[in-house]
Structure 1
Amino acid sequence: MIKRRLKSFDYSLLIVYVLLSIFGLIMVYSASMITSIQIYEVESNFFFKRQLMFLMLSYVMCIVAAILPYKKYKNNIFLMVMIFMMFALLIGLFLRGQTVNNATSWISIMGVSFQPAEFVKLALIIYLAAVYSKKQPYINDFNKGVVPPVVILCLFCFLIVLQPDVGTAAIIFATGAIIVFCAGMNWKNLFKLSGIGIFLIFIFVSVMSLTGHSFITETRMARFTSFMDPFKYELDEGLQLVNSYVAIGSGGLTGVGLGKSIQKLGYLPEAHTDFIMAIIAEELGVLGVGFVLFCLGFIVLKGFHLGMKCKDAFGSLLAFGISGLIGIQTFINLGGVAGLIPITGVTLPFVSYGGTSLMVLSICIGLLMSVSSRANLEMKEKEKLDS
């Protein structure tokens, strides 16, 4: 049985994931070594060593997730415990959360700091995929089949917006919307759900304004105005975007050379996290950027293809949700780096520095491999029966 499982794994997905994560580790070292010394006053390989530790742990998590049958996560008790734990972690942020960059997104347990919202991304994908796969017989019953899981989704997004972390909330909501769309409900229910969603957003913004907690804060307005005309605010709000443009424009086809970036010398803030793609463009040029886009595009398309190929509703929705998450997060990060959308502080999947994000996304790859393995085995069994 183990031999059959090993043969059925999609090793192309694993190879691309490993190559991209190792590339990300190299770029984290290159982008962070000056920052480590100048700003954090630690050794130059501080962030590299931490990312390497998280990467090794992530590989283990990926393998475990790939080996375990994904259908075990459909268990009702597991789903209830998982959702309760995520809810407790988000509530815990308001009690003992750590504030970084004006957002209370971090929590420390037994000396280990992490972002609960990253785990919420994965938890909600599993939850929505499991629930909607069970509701297939009555998926077009709006009150019974559609609404209940969406209420849970909106509740979690609301708690994350309050941190405030609008970027992560947007990623989670959009990923949930993809799963809802792929669940197979009719267009009438989809339009009805969209209308209710717009109405609730309007109510939320209005209530926040009436209670003196305006959703449109000075910080958010600054991000929007600097995105519209970064050179007008190049000494303050537009600093990151202007220096991102300089880095991207300096790279050309092959870049200035690995480790030779000028912008990482204190000019571009968050060079090893949100804006690591700008450093890749500067040091490795179009070729480096192309490699990252190819790898991420391969993973996303592979996941969507798997979602269409898998005959099991839970596995299919799981694949669609994971691919949607990686694709949306990539778009939001690169959109901010290129000035296409306002900067949100979202990291680039598998490449940016960040242990929590790397571990969660690695588990996602493991789940995709688990779904792929099951789908391949079922296909081979069907071929045997047909022959």
Structure 2
Amino acid sequence: MRNRTETGAVLMPRDDSLRGAGEASLGGLNLQATWAIPLVLSCIGILMISSVTAQLTINQGRTPFFYGLKQLQWLLVGLGGMIACTLPPVAFWRRWSGVIWAGAVLLMILTLLPVLGRSGGGSSRWVRIGPLSLQASEVMLLAAAVHLAKKLNEPGLTRGRAMGRTLLIFALSAWPFLFQPDLGGVIILFTLSMAVFVQVFGWVIPLVAGTIASVLIFFPVVLLGRYRVERITSFLDPWNDPLGSGFQTLQGFIAFANGGLFGVGIGHGLQKLQYLPAAHTDFILAAIGEELGMVGTFSVVLLFAILLLIQYHSYRSARDGFEATLTWSVTLAIFIPFFVNAAGVLRLMPLTGVPLPFISYGGSSLVLGWCKIGMLLRLMRQKPYPGEEGIP
């Protein structure tokens, strides 16, 4: 049986029989793997970005490794962000979650202002900060994950009120996405919100009601945008418009087919010759499939799966409801975008423009991804195993 804390959060029971020297060793390995796996994924990303953009950068009059080197710079910034996020105690995120979330909402609104917002790929998702651009949706996803963990673990909260809070936080977080427009951001936020609610209360009826209400509210808005309708129709039948809305999906299929089991080799893929749009961003998984084959693609999926299992172990070991929910929500803030990106590339759902965490080109996604890893490391260190009490 699962039990609840006084805040109402669902906690998995500890298995005391596993604790001891063996648990200490496992805990140390989990800590190391939590940062080592994203580092391997980031290095794979830099390698693939350098490969698939070589021809593009030459056409632009730049060095062949221009985008790969830029991604390496962002990786170093991300590692600094990870270290910074391991320093504050978990109580910091509980206390300041509301301020962080409100700041993220404001940042999302700023993307809609012509003076500060920057458009790309048909949507306004970035805020200009001097010479840099910040993708506000990445900040919002992490801020919403933290704020949901705080608000759903307050004492005396009933299931009905909790569902109301969940939908309110989702609605206030999601409405700027509709004007950017960013359908992928709405999908990820809604999935995250409902998953956090289920973790805390484990109640299906309000979940179904909330899902129906959200669909009734947001689906008509989705249909108002022509590009959104094209995304859905190209998902249903990309062969209906193979040179238009279905072109990217079909080129992704060709990339996987060319790669076969072991791939054509790094730098030998044909899709980098600009046949595959967004080969270094949204569709980098297809580029991996072509150059590294099914083996390379499966290896990437396996690394994400191992990281997920490690964080599930950390979630089960949480000291209280807030820590459990925060571990759960931050972990989902990594894995929901992974699933949405992979599902879009494999035509399991419509394309959304969501990057592949740690691998796709983009500074905001990479840096915020590493900040999430830093928070997860801090949460793991909040409950040291025997022999690790000296870790801050």
Give the TM-score, by structure 2 length: 0.86
The 3-state SS of whatever aligns with 1:99 is strand
Partner residue of 1:18?
39
Specify the code of the residue in structure 2 equivalent to 1:191.
I
CA contact (8 A) 2:82 2:373 kept: yes
Specify the code of the residue in structure 2 equivalent to 1:251.
G
CA contact (8 A) 2:148 2:169 kept: no
Is residue 283 from structure 1 mapped to residue 291 from structure 2 by the alignment?
yes
> How high is the sequence identity, in percent, across the aligned residues?
30
CA gap 1:246/1:7 in 2 versus in 1, 3 angstroms: closer
Partner residue of 1:199?
213
Partner residue of 1:348?
356
Partner residue of 1:384?
none
Specify the code of the residue in structure 2 equivalent to 1:153.
F
Partner residue of 2:54?
33
Partner residue of 2:12?
none
Partner residue of 1:82?
100
Is residue 91 from structure 1 mapped to residue 109 from structure 2 by the alignment?
yes
Specify the code of the residue in structure 2 equivalent to 1:298.
I
CA contact (8 A) 1:274 1:352 kept: yes
CA contact (8 A) 1:303 1:322 kept: no
For residue 166 of structure 1, the aligned residue among 163, 183, 186 is 183
For residue 339 of structure 1, the aligned residue among 331, 341, 347 is 347
- Superposed displacement of residue 242, structure 1: 1.1
Give the TM-score, by structure 1 length: 0.87
- Superposed displacement of residue 378, structure 1: 8.4
> What CA RMSD, in Å, does the superposition of the two structures yield over aligned residues?
2.3
CA contact (8 A) 1:9 1:370 kept: no
Cα deviation 1:12-59 (Å, max 9, x = unaligned) = 212212111111111111111222233x45332221121111000101
CA gap 1:157/1:378 in 2 versus in 1, 3 angstroms: farther
For residue 227 of structure 1, the aligned residue among 214, 225, 235 is 235
* Structure-2 separation of matches of 1:239 and 1:35: 19
Larger relative helix fraction: 1
CA gap 1:116/1:255 in 2 versus in 1, 3 angstroms: same
Is residue 104 from structure 1 mapped to residue 124 from structure 2 by the alignment?
yes
* Structure-2 separation of matches of 1:201 and 1:284: 39
Structure 1 residues 193-342: aligned runs within 5 Å: 193-206=207-220, 208=221, 215-342=223-350
- Superposed displacement of residue 377, structure 1: 4.5
Deviates more, 1:308-317 or 1:66-75: 66-75
* Structure-2 separation of matches of 1:8 and 1:294: 17
* Structure-2 separation of matches of 1:71 and 1:295: 30
Specify the code of the residue in structure 2 equivalent to 1:359.
V
- Superposed displacement of residue 356, structure 1: 0.3
- Unaligned regions of 5+ residues in structure 1, if any? 209-213, 382-387
The 3-state SS of whatever aligns with 1:254 is coil
- Superposed displacement of residue 250, structure 1: 1.0
CA contact (8 A) 2:340 2:354 kept: yes
CA contact (8 A) 2:112 2:179 kept: no
The 3-state SS of whatever aligns with 2:243 is coil
Is residue 361 from structure 1 mapped to residue 369 from structure 2 by the alignment?
yes
* Structure-2 separation of matches of 1:228 and 1:192: 30
Q: How many residues align?
A: 362
* Structure-1 separation of matches of 2:372 and 2:345: 24
CA gap 1:149/1:117 in 2 versus in 1, 3 angstroms: same
* Structure-2 separation of matches of 1:255 and 1:194: 43
- Superposed displacement of residue 70, structure 1: 2.2
The 3-state SS of whatever aligns with 2:124 is strand
